[in-house]
Amino acid sequence: MSVDYTEDSIRSLDWKEHIRLRPGMYIGKLGDGSSADDGIYVLLKEVMDNSIDEFVMGYGNVIEVVVNDKEVVVRDYGRGMPLGKVNECVSKINTGAKYDSKVFKKAVGLNGVGSKAVNALSAKFKAQSIREGKTKIVEYVRGELVNDAPIEPSKEKNGTIITFFPDEEIFGNYHYIYEYVEEMLWNYVFLNSGLTIIFNGQKLHSKNGLRDLLEHNINGNGPILYPIIHIKEDEFECALSHSSRAYSEEYYSFVNGQHTTSGGTHLTAFKEAIVRTVRDFYGKEFETSDIRTSIIAAISIKVQEPVFESQTKTKLGSQHIEPGGQTVRNYVNDIIKRNLDNYLHIHSETAEAMYRKILQSEKERKDMAGIKKLARESVKKASLHNKKLRDCRIHLNTNHEKRLETTLFITEGDSASGSITKSRDVQTQAVFSLKGKPLNCYGLSKKIVYQNEEFNLLQAALNIDESLENLRYNNVVIATDADVDGMHIRLLLLTFFLQFYPDLVKAGHLYILQTPLFRVRNKKESIYCYSEEERIKAIAKLGPNPEITRFKGLGEISPDEFRHFIGTNIRLDPVILRRESSVAETLSFYMGKNTPQRQVFIIDNLRVEEDVLIEPKVA
């Protein structure tokens, strides 16, 4: 069929229309808040970045953040936007002070887009600037100016107050997860010495920068093998150690205060510099993997006019520290070489501990070589892609942005996996089918990953053997029945990931699929309910004597119905490792030897429903 291509085919969109039509260009993926990189958190980050840039320039050492349901308020005590330009600063693309490198030398936001994207993608948006005894307020609805208040006197301290409500037309029935917000804000204080952030009344402050960040995040990896090495020089800072339990590498990387979750030139340079320095110090050509296995590190660098690979700024593309200046690679290498080499010469106990760890990794790698070879052959023999894994088509496409949409459902039983397979989006959703209950792997070595068929096939499907960077699916979803057996399978899978791949959980890739417990319907409408409270509301809405179905297993839900639960309305519970959580202690309590303490916990947390479903409350 031919389509006319004429002058009438050409459209010009204004700024807010373009942002709302193509939000992914500005904030990455949308999401409902269940993932830490969902768009609603990017909106908060864009507002925070402006306040942080004020702090970096020396204005305002306190930022107040309030998240109340769907309302977000950020108040800084910087200079405040120039009162005559408040409207332009939040509603005109490519307008801002950050094009003037004298005003904002090493800012995060450089493109004059961030606050405008927040404005356009918010149902309500309000900006207030307080400056030198005067204030100016502008308000918008979905980017449309509805109140341009006159400048008035004010007794408040200088600064900017931004209030916004992400638009449900764009983000659906979203919700903020406070743990995600708190982690984002902690990163800001770790990277900005002297900054205090008050989040919903809680004070966040750091004295020791990236050393504090590493201590904050190191809990889940077990004890470290030597004291944290902390290096600060010029515009570069890093902290590193080796964990006694982790099997892979874990990095936290930042540029100008921005969390570059996808790394970039600075992180690549850091990894290379560590390997080169260690080899030179010990005078041995160790394998790269032996040096970096179980390393945990944080790195921060400040770059003038940074170039990121997308508006969401998750990967640095800059080759130089400043235009025409030293390369990022040489800059990082020089600092690491000089400081790490000196540190190891001075601290002989640390040098010895690192040396023992490298030799241990070397021995384990050689011991595992034969087992891994057999495991790979086992994967081929099992015809993974035909039997255990129903893959999605997106992996034929190398587009990284599209891969952010990929999901792997891990389920058990032919009926459940069959229903999901028939109802999934074949472009982005894959299904891995378990055969019965997996092994309780608590306390076992990583050899079991390759010797146990289920675990071997699962890690091969995920492609996480060598590095989390190779993860094939952005979302890994455990989809089991809501009965006792389903809960047990869920617990065994959580044990597998926490025991061998805790960084996958820490990075926010692991979820639990919520499926409805009830269907309430009459001749006109069906309502799916995920709790007893929702069931009561559905009955009230549909009137007397509706038909009520209690789902007790995924296999009971038809593929046609399943499409409602794994499509745009999917409900996912993220598996979150809270700050105070220790993976070792958690696994020992739930999966170790039966103890009186665990028996008391189970008894205290049991609840009994009318249809004799017994399950523990979410702890």
Percent of all residues in the chain with a pLDDT value above 70, rounded to a whole number: 85
- In this model, does residue 8 exceed pLDDT 60? no
Same domain, 495 and 414: yes
Residue 607 has a pLDDT of: 57
Cα end-to-end span (Å), the chain = 58
Lowest-pLDDT choice from 26-30, 470-474, 564-568, 582-586: 582-586
- When pLDDT is cut at 50, 70 and 90, the band that residue 103 belongs to is very low
**Same domain, yes or no, for 191 and 59?**
yes
pLDDT at 613: 38
Q: What is residue 340's predicted lDDT score, i.e. its pLDDT? A: 96
* Rounded-to-integer distance, Cα 458 and Cα 443, Å: 19
Contact 417, 557 (CB under 8 A): no
Among 178, 205, 232, the domain boundary falls at 205
Q: Do residues 83 and 109 share a domain?
A: yes
Helix, strand or coil, per DSSP, at residue 64: strand
Q: State yes or no: pLDDT of 185 exceeds 90.
A: yes
88-102, 304-318, 554-568: which range is least confident on average? 88-102
Per-residue model confidence as pLDDT tens digits over 352-363: 999 999 999 999
Full residue range of the structural domain in which residue 41 is found: 16-205
**Residue 320: predicted pLDDT:** 86
What integer pLDDT is reported at residue 221 of this predicted model?
53
What is the predicted pLDDT for the residue at 498?
A: 86
Q: What number is the average pLDDT over the span 522-540?
A: 89
CA distances from 348 to 5, 78, 182, 281, 352 (A): 73, 46, 38, 12, 6
Lowest mean pLDDT across 173-187, 199-213, 409-423, 527-541: 409-423
Cβ neighbours, 10 Å, residue 23: 20
Q: Within a domain: residue 409?
A: yes
Determine, yes or no, domain membership for 61: yes
Q: Are both 183 and 49 inside the same structural domain?
A: yes
User: Does some domain include residue 617?
Assistant: no
Q: What is the pLDDT of residue 562?
A: 81
Q: What digits encode the pLDDT tens for the residues 296-336?
A: 999 999 888 888 776 556 788 888 888 878 899 999 999 99
pLDDT tens-digit readout, 255-270: 888 888 888 899 999 9
For residues 16 and 240, which has the higher predicted lDDT (pLDDT)? Answer: 240
Strand-pair partners of 253 = 299
- Whether the per-residue pLDDT at 196 is higher than 90: the answer is yes
Shared-domain flag, residues 122 and 184: yes
| CATH, residue 57 | 3.30.565.10
- Lowest mean pLDDT, pick from 77-86, 158-167, 400-409, 542-551: 400-409
Q: Model confidence at 614, in pLDDT bands (50, 70, 90)?
A: very low
- What pLDDT score was predicted for residue 581? 59
Q: Is the pLDDT of residue 222 over 80?
A: no
Whether residues 439 and 302 share a domain: the answer is: no
- Beta-bridge partner residues of 67: 72
Read off the pLDDT of each residue in 177-202 and give the average, rounded to a whole number. Answer: 92
Residue 264 lies in a domain: yes
**Confidence (pLDDT) at 102:** 47
The reply to whether 239 falls in a domain is yes
Per the structure block, which two tokens stand in for 541?
Answer: 């809405």
Q: Which of 213-222, 408-417, 501-510 has the lowest mean pLDDT?
A: 213-222
Confidence of residue 44 (pLDDT cuts 50, 70, 90): very high
3-state class (DSSP) for residue 462:
helix
Q: Which residues contact 476 (CB under 8 A, 6 or more apart)?
A: 407, 408, 410, 462, 497, 504, 509, 510, 511
The residue from 152, 175, 205 where one domain ends is 205
Q: How confident is the model at residue 401 (pLDDT cuts 50, 70, 90)?
A: low
Nearest to 444 by CA among 488, 498, 376, 489: 498
Segment 476-500 shows an average pLDDT of: 86
Give the type of residue at 522. N
User: What is the pLDDT at residue 365?
Assistant: 87
The residues near 604 (Cβ < 8 Å, ≥ 6 apart) are none
Roughly what angle, to the nearest 10 degrees, separates helices 328-346 and 348-381? 120
The residue among 297, 275, 294 whose CA lies nearest residue 286 is: 275
According to the model, what pLDDT value does residue 356 have? 95
My answer on whether 107 and 234 are in the same domain is: no
DSSP designation for 149: P
Rounded mean pLDDT of 129-140? 93
Which pLDDT belongs to residue 554? Answer: 76
- Please tell me whether residues 497 and 541 are part of one structural domain: no
- Within 10 Å of residue 107's Cβ, how many Cβ atoms? 25
In tens, the pLDDT along 228-255 reads 999 999 889 999 999 887 677 889 999 8
- Residue 408 pLDDT exceeds 50: yes
- pLDDT for the residue 139: 94
Q: Are residues 93 and 80 in the same domain?
A: yes
Let me know if residue 612 belongs to a domain. no
Q: How far is Cα 301 from Cα 519, in angstroms, rounded to an integer?
A: 53
Average pLDDT for residues 165-192, to the nearest whole number? Answer: 91
If phi > 0 it is left, if psi is from -120 to 50 it is alpha, else beta; for residue 102 that is alpha
The residue with greater pLDDT, 17 or 286, is 286
Question: Does 308 share its domain with 456?
Answer: no
pLDDT (tens digit per residue) in 452-481: 888 888 888 888 877 777 888 989 999 888
- The residue with greater pLDDT, 591 or 331, is 331
**CA–CA separation, 192 and 254 (whole Å):** 12
Q: Is 608 part of a structural domain of the chain?
A: no
Band (pLDDT 50/70/90 cuts) for residue 34 is: confident
Question: Where is average pLDDT lowest: 78-87, 152-161, 561-570, 603-612?
Answer: 603-612
Helical ranges in 382-483 per DSSP H: 400-403, 414-423, 447-451, 453-462
Among the candidates 501, 535, 550, a domain finishes at: 550
pLDDT at residue 530 is higher than 90: no
What is the predicted pLDDT for the residue at 165? 94
CATH, residue 313 = 3.30.230.10
Residues 332, 240 share a domain: yes
Domain count, the chain: 4
The answer as to whether 242 is a domain residue is yes
AA identity, residue 6: T
Span 419-432, average pLDDT: 88
Share of residues in the chain with pLDDT > 90 (%) = 35
Q: What is the mean pLDDT of the chain?
A: 83
pLDDT mean over 596-604:
72
- pLDDT at residue 3, as a whole number: 56
Distance CA 231, CA 491 (A): 40
Q: What is the pLDDT of residue 61?
A: 93
Q: What is the pLDDT of residue 551?
A: 81
Average pLDDT rounded to a whole number, residues 143-154: 92
Closest CA to 115 of 165, 182, 48, 30: 48
One domain for residues 526 and 416: no
Place of tokens 């936007």: 81
